[in-house]
Amino acid sequence: MVEANKNLRIEQKREGDKIVCKLSGWLDPNTSPELVNKLDLNGIKSLVIDMSGVEYVFSAGLRSILMLQKLLEFQGGNIKLTNVSDDIRGIFECTGLDSLLEPKA
C-alpha cells in the first residue's frame, strides 16, 4: 500500500505583483495554516496556485484558500487555481468555490 504524502510542499515565485505558487501534498488542518503563513501578499494583485500536486483538500484547506482570496480582494487582486484534478474540482464545485478555478481545457 502506498501512503499518501500528508505533508504540504509550497514552491513560490514572485513576478512583480504576481505570485505563482505550486503546491503538493495535502491541504488539511495541519498544513493549511502553513499556506497562509508562507505567502507574503503585500503588494500582490494576482496569486496563481498550481494544484497539480495536491492529493486532497479538507475543509481547512478550503478555508485557507478563501482567506487568501479575501486578502487579495481587499488589495484589489485575485486568485486563480490551476491544474486542479477532477476529484478536487468536484469539491470546489460542490462548495460553490468553482469560480476560483481555471476553466477546464
Global pTM?
0.89
pLDDT in tens, 36-49: 999 999 999 999 99
For the chain, give the mean pLDDT: 91
pLDDT in tens, 2-20: 455 689 999 999 999 999 9
Domains delineated in the chain: 8-100 (3.30.750.24)
Q: Determine the pLDDT at residue 5.
A: 60
Q: Determine the pLDDT at residue 101.
A: 87
Of 3, 48, 38, 9, the C-alpha closest to 25 is: 9
**Using the 8-state DSSP alphabet, how is residue 98 labeled?**
G
Helix (H, G, I), strand (E, B) or coil at 67: helix
